[in-house]
Amino acid sequence: MLQLKFDDNFQNIVPIFQDYWKSIDDIPPKIKDYITNHSASRPLYDRTDKKYYCSQCLRELSGCQCINCQREYQLKKSFKVFQIQDLDSLEVTYRVFDVIDQEAVLYYIVDELTFDHPLASYKYRTNKMKLSRAYHVQKDGLLELYSHKFYSFKSYDEALWKDFDENGDFSLIDISEIFGLSFSSYDFLYVDNLDDLQDVSVYRYSRIWEMKDKWRDDAFVPLSAVTYNPICRPEFEYLVKMKLYQLAEQCETIKWGDRGSFEKIFGVSKKYYNFMVEHDINASELSALQQCPTDDYELLSFVTDCLNTVIQVDHSVDFKKLKKYFDEQHLRPDHFVDYQDYLNCCQQLGIDLKDKNVLYPEDFITSHDQLTLEVMINDNAEINQKISELSKLLSLNVYENDKFIIFPADGIASLIDESSQQSNCVRTYCDRISQNDCQIYFMRHKTAVDKSLVTVEVRAGRVVQARTRFNKDIDAEMKTFLEQWEKVMFPIIKISE
């Protein structure tokens, strides 16, 4: 029943849905049983020791059945946790629709699993359900029935393509979190009554009930997929009809082409349609397919992984050849960001990218490192020059004994070489050195002067830091050497401008 009421500000009269579940006792037993059984059907998987455990008595599972309590499990449907010994509780959210008088309410029922039994000497699972939210689904938004807060579809729509850096409208961030993200580590949708939504006017043409099988065991169905998309996005129905379920679920995140032909809408030729259905491709796979049309799913997955690591793609990339090359070089798709970086460096240095040996160098990592170094020196020619000039002065402090020698860094290349472990901060580091705000010396074995041993930072004629590789402290012999050196060092201090 709908009842008319004033809203919180006493400004508008709004219909308030009355017959909603207000406490756990209102939840139909069928749903409660479903939740209890569903939570109990999943074993725990400990990401730390990579083992499965009975979620009832927390004993390690050797097979699909617990030898202690006889429960049987399907191992691939598990709750993933860390450090099972320290596990106290786990929250699993179930979203459940209820249809009354042709109105839909979507409930969030949290099943709180607690792994500690006060009466048992060992850990044992108990569970407690609580109702956390109830959204009355309306044509222009969701009214949360416990707090009376209204979340309009229009503001979610605005939030979708907003650049949050530019304006600090935090209410839009809130709304995209409500619709788009899931805060619980597990968030299931109860699908057995989705057919009832056929009677609800806002869902009438949505075909949302056809998503049943897709969502049955899906642990992360966003709120937008079950409300905003089927209600506000005409693409949703179209995609469900086409059996492209993942695209339907994520349809608000895709910039659709003009209506009309298949190719205009999806940005790929219609001949890929069966392939798209067969693999039920998602939004990132669709953009990968647009970038690299193929019916080889392994290749598509590779392209998808590559594209997920970069913001912009060099359009000349031949992904088929690149995959072969990455396989040969034992590179992972996340190296694609380095590959793009490498291509940019080539371009910057005017190297011919049509040359196969340039595109696919024999040893990628080495070529990449060499080239990025070259570009960095090019870009920072002035800084490099200053460091090099300064090093001539600092050479007054070259010092040695029988075993060790110490000398100043003479340019960007030597610094990158030395600190290859921390190369990401080299740029700012170089800047400070070129200003003589600090000085870097390399202490090395006289028998291996090219091999990095201790990096020494000097300020105002004093050693302020001396670290070996992997940032370990130096040993006593090295320390004695540095103390002797410090005594005879010329303090080459920055002269203020």
Q: Quickly tell me which residue has 């190297």 as its tokens.
A: 351
The site map against Zn ion for 5-24 (x = CB under 5 A) is --------------------
Mark the segment that binds Zn ion (CB under 5 A) among 57-65, 254-262, 311-319, 441-449: 57-65
Q: Site for Zn ion (CB under 5 A): which residue of 66, 137, 189, 453?
A: 66
Contact criterion met (CB below 8 Å) for 223 and 107: no
* Cα of 191 vs its chain's centroid, Å: 28
84 belongs to the binding site for Zn ion (CB under 5 A)? no
- Name the minimum Å distance from CB 127 to Zn ion: 15
64 belongs to the binding site for Zn ion (CB under 5 A)? no
Angular region, 460: left φ>0, alpha ψ -120 to 50, beta rest:
left
Q: Of 35 and 61, which CB lies nearer to Zn ion in the complex structure?
A: 61
Q: Of 57 and 413, which CB lies nearer to Zn ion in the complex structure?
A: 57
Q: Of 68 and 176, which CB lies nearer to Zn ion in the complex structure?
A: 68
Q: Quickly tell me which residue has 């090019």 as its tokens.
A: 378
Q: Of 87 and 307, which CB lies nearer to Zn ion in the complex structure?
A: 87
- What CA–CA distance (Å, rounded) separates 227 from 159? 16
Query: Which residues are paired to 155 by β-bridges?
Result: none
Write out the H or E segment, with its range, that includes residue 429.
Answer: helix 426-434
- What CA–CA distance (Å, rounded) separates 313 from 311? 7
Mark the segment that binds Zn ion (CB under 5 A) among 46-54, 224-232, 348-356, 422-430: 46-54
Q: Site for Zn ion (CB under 5 A): which residue of 17, 42, 43, 56?
A: 56
Mark the segment that binds Zn ion (CB under 5 A) among 29-37, 59-67, 128-136, 223-231: 59-67
**R_g over Cα of the chain:** 31
- What CA–CA distance (Å, rounded) separates 110 from 428? 49
**Which residue type is seen at 30?**
K
Q: Site for Zn ion (CB under 5 A): which residue of 35, 54, 221, 251?
A: 54
Mark the segment that binds Zn ion (CB under 5 A) among 69-77, 101-109, 258-266, 440-448: 69-77
Q: Which of residues 372-411 bind Zn ion (CB under 5 A)?
A: none
Q: Site for Zn ion (CB under 5 A): which residue of 57, 100, 242, 331?
A: 57
Q: Of 66 and 175, which CB lies nearer to Zn ion in the complex structure?
A: 66
- Name the minimum Å distance from CB 121 to Zn ion: 15
Sheet holding 103-115, edge to edge: 150-152, 141-144, 125-138, 103-115, 89-100, 186-189
- Name the minimum Å distance from CB 80 to Zn ion: 18
Exposure letters 304-337 (e unless 16+ CB within 10 A, then b): bebbeeeeebeeebebeebbebbeeeebebebbe
Q: Site for Zn ion (CB under 5 A): which residue of 38, 51, 68, 309?
A: 68
Mark the segment that binds Zn ion (CB under 5 A) among 60-68, 125-133, 165-173, 303-311: 60-68
Q: Which of residues 202-241 bind Zn ion (CB under 5 A)?
A: none
Size of the site for Zn ion (CB under 5 A): 6
113 belongs to the binding site for Zn ion (CB under 5 A)? no
- Name the minimum Å distance from CB 166 to Zn ion: 54
- Name the minimum Å distance from CB 58 to Zn ion: 7
- Name the minimum Å distance from CB 455 to Zn ion: 54
69 belongs to the binding site for Zn ion (CB under 5 A)? yes
Mark the segment that binds Zn ion (CB under 5 A) among 58-66, 131-139, 143-151, 372-380: 58-66
Q: Of 57 and 463, which CB lies nearer to Zn ion in the complex structure?
A: 57
- Name the minimum Å distance from CB 73 to Zn ion: 9
Evaluated on CA atoms 30, 32, 38, 41, the torsion sign reads: negative
Q: Of 54 and 268, which CB lies nearer to Zn ion in the complex structure?
A: 54
The site map against Zn ion for 455-494 (x = CB under 5 A) is ----------------------------------------
- Name the minimum Å distance from CB 42 to Zn ion: 13
Neighbours of 65 (CB within 10 A): 13
Contact criterion met (CB below 8 Å) for 20 and 51: no
Q: Of 17 and 115, which CB lies nearer to Zn ion in the complex structure?
A: 115
Query: Which residues are paired to 394 by β-bridges?
Result: none
- Name the minimum Å distance from CB 305 to Zn ion: 38
Contacts of 405 (CB under 8 A, 6+ apart): 398, 399, 443, 444, 445, 446, 449
Contact criterion met (CB below 8 Å) for 452 and 441: no
Sheet holding 79-81, edge to edge: 51-53, 44-46, 79-81
- Name the minimum Å distance from CB 216 to Zn ion: 25
152 belongs to the binding site for Zn ion (CB under 5 A)? no
418: its two tokens: 């030395």
Contact criterion met (CB below 8 Å) for 319 and 287: no
- Name the minimum Å distance from CB 59 to Zn ion: 5
Exposure letters 144-154 (e unless 16+ CB within 10 A, then b): bbeeeebbebe
Note the residues at the interface with Zn ion (CB under 5 A): 54, 56-57, 66, 68-69
